[in-house]
Structures are given as structure tokens and as C-alpha cells.
Amino acid sequence: ASYDMGGHDTYMHKEISEQPDAVDRVLRGRIDDRFNTVHLGGLNLDAREARGIRRVKILGCGTSYHAGLIGAGLIESLARIPADAEPASEFRYRNPVVDPDTLYIAVSQSGETYDVLAAVQELKRKGARVLGVVNVVGSAIAREADGGTYVHAGPEVCVVSTKCFTNTVVAFALLALHLGRIRDLSVAEGKRIIEGLRKLPAQISEILESEDEIKKLAEQYADAKSMMFIGRVRGYPVALEASLKLKEISYIHAEAYPASELKHGPLALIEPALPTVAIVPDDELLEKNRAALEEIKARSGRILAVAHREQEKADHTIVVPKNEDELDPILMGIPLQLLAYHTALALGRDIDKPRNLAKSVTVE
């Protein structure tokens, strides 16, 4: 595919920049201010069926899997349905127990990833209900699913996913709110989340305005041979996705760990040559996350924090606007897309077409 780059040097930069509009699109026409809920036309799931769901299992690959991890957290916290995400390929190779009371959700930007499609087909064969959270309209996974929602990110050309990741997470927030309001989420809570969702486009624009500052930071960290990304609960999938993005386009080795697991192993790696990127939201886990920063500092590790206010234990902090706790991961991922981008740029990488990778993997 070839689309106009609109004055950007790379599709990745163009697609990162498009996120305020893309998020606006996924929200448009779906919010119901009368009942403080969300309407998603294509779900094919009535209220009675929605109440019968006992578990949610989300399947995807790569960045879509990470979006699914955040989605599972949103569904669990807003709809109070046990939910988890798993790489689609792992799922289909382990002869999973397919349960009729579980709602399965397949996530895919392209809608053509073979491992996801094969998982959907296996699920359908075993009588499961499968929804798709897909970007490309009319794609194989969208057609195979019983229903679902499009994420309306628009065409994504860069091999690595940015705007589609963000939109997919927002689509999951909508789905979680929809399920929550059918189940136990109160009117007031619904309103709180809706107000948060409406703030996202302007808050994303605000983050994009700090690009020059993030570029300078990227140039300072670009000499690292390896980087550690940590986060806790909602912050952990953000760390996973940020580390994947960095690996994919800069070829710097990166790993993501739950901050709480540092002491069970990776702390042994911490030294000045291994910088840590830490996700530190102002939420109920703030003090726990600060303690992790102290642990790292005590071992002379360099720290770049993504937080809602300056972190004194960190060498640098990227401050992002605060939203509702549940929606913070959406915003905290954005500066880390720019960090990966500018690191790769500083290293002269082919950003839109990283070596060895394809935009969609349609074979096994």
C-alpha cells in the first residue's frame, strides 16, 4: 500500500501523529450520555447473553496481544468479569479447554494474522462465541467472528503498530464500559469513564507536543546495549509494548518485567549500563512503584520515568497528563512510541521496514 506521507519522513511518525484524530474516530457516535454507556453495533450480544459471560479470553499476536492484555484489565476492572489475554499461537497449540460460558475475543490490526485466524476457526469449530476487535474492515478475522467491533484507526502502513494499538485499547475501554453497564458498573462510574474517554484526544495532542524533549532523551539513551522496562498491574502491559517497540525498530535488546518481580531476578542485571524505563502513574500503586525506583537507584541504575509528576529518584521524567486510573495506560504508551522512534532514528534504522519483520504474518 502507498498512502501520502503528509509531510512526515516516515509512516510511523505520521501514524503516531494521527492518534488524536484516530481516537476521536473510535469514540464517535458510540457514547450514550443518557444511560452513561456505550453502543457497539456489531457485537451481536444481547444484554442477557452479556450477563451470562463467566470469563473473557483475549487472543492476539505481537502488539495486538499487548493491547489485549490492557483490554483484559479494563474488562476485569469495569465489568468485573475474570479476563486474561494470551498469544493466539500459544493458545491454539495447547489444545485449550473451550468453555461455552467464556467470551473469546480475537484482536488483530490486519485481520489476517494466520495464528489468530486459526485460533478463531478452532474456537468456532468447538462451538465457542468469538468476537473480533479488528482494524481492517471485511478482513478474514472480522468475517470469521460472530460479531465484534472495528477500531477505526485508519490505514496503518508502518510495520510496527502505533495508532492501531492505541485505538484497540480505546475500543476495549468501550467494550468494558458496555459490559460493565449491563452488569454492575453504576451510572456514576459510567459517567466517570466517559468523561475520561472524551479527554483522551486533547491529552494525546498535549503529549505529542513534548516530542522535542522526548527526542533529546532518546538521543541520550540510544547508546544503551539493553534496556529494562518495568510497570505494575496496568503499567505492565505498557512496559511490554514499549519494550517490543524499541526492539522492533532500534534493535536494542529490551525486556519488560512487572516491577514487583524485579527482586526475584532481574535486579541482578541492574548497573549503570542498563537503563530502566519505569511506568509510574499517580494511582494506588504509586508508593510501591517509587520503592522499585529506589531499589534501582541503590544499584546505580539510570532511570527514565513516565509519570504524572516529576519523580525524584529518576534521572529523567516524562510527565504525561492524568486521566482516570483505568485509562492512564492509553496515555502512558504514547511518549514511549516516540522514544522508540527517536532512538531508532538516532541509530539510523529503517523505521518503517525493520529487518526480518512483516506487517502481517499470514502464514504459519
Per rule CB under 6 A, is residue 161 in the interface with ligand G6P? yes
Q: Of the ranges 23-31, 108-116, 173-181, 324-332, which one interacts with ligand G6P (CB under 6 A)?
A: 108-116
Q: Which residue from 70, 79, 159, 278 is in contact with ligand G6P, where contact means CB under 6 A? A: 159
Q: Of the ranges 110-118, 222-230, 260-268, 329-337, which one interacts with ligand G6P (CB under 6 A)?
A: 110-118
- Mark residues 47-86: x for contact with ligand G6P by CB under 6 A, - for none: --------------xxxx----------------------
Residue type, 22: A
Sort strands 55-60 and 31-32 into parallel, antiparallel or unpaired.
Answer: unpaired
Touching ligand G6P, residues 220-249 (CB under 6 A): none
- Mark residues 288-307: x for contact with ligand G6P by CB under 6 A, - for none: --------------------
Return the closest-CA partner of residue 116 out of 131, 129, 106, 125: 106
Per rule CB under 6 A, is residue 116 in the interface with ligand G6P? yes
**Minimal distance, residue 166 CB to ligand G6P, in Å:** 13
- Residues that bind ligand G6P (rule: CB under 6 A) add up to a total of 17
**Minimal distance, residue 136 CB to ligand G6P, in Å:** 8
Indicate the residue whose CB is closest to ligand G6P: 62
**Minimal distance, residue 148 CB to ligand G6P, in Å:** 14
- Residue 359 appears among annotated catalytic residues: yes
Residue 14: which residues within 8 A CB-CB, separation 6 or more? 5, 6, 8
209: DSSP letter: T
Sort strands 129-134 and 102-108 into parallel, antiparallel or unpaired.
Answer: parallel
Query: Residue 81 in contact with residue 53, Cβ under 8 Å?
Result: yes
Residue 280: which residues within 8 A CB-CB, separation 6 or more? 235, 286, 289, 290, 293, 305, 306, 307, 308, 311, 314
Give the three cell numbers for residue 284: 494506588
Q: Which is nearer to ligand G6P, 61 or 262 (CB)?
A: 61
> CB neighbours (10 Å) of residue 347?
16
Give the three cell numbers for residue 3: 498512502
Per rule CB under 6 A, is residue 36 in the interface with ligand G6P? no
What number of residues does the chain have?
364
Query: Residue 78 in contact with residue 177, Cβ under 8 Å?
Result: yes
Per rule CB under 6 A, is residue 157 in the interface with ligand G6P? no
User: Residues in the site for ligand G6P, rule: CB under 6 A?
Assistant: 61-64, 108-110, 113, 116, 159-161, 357-361
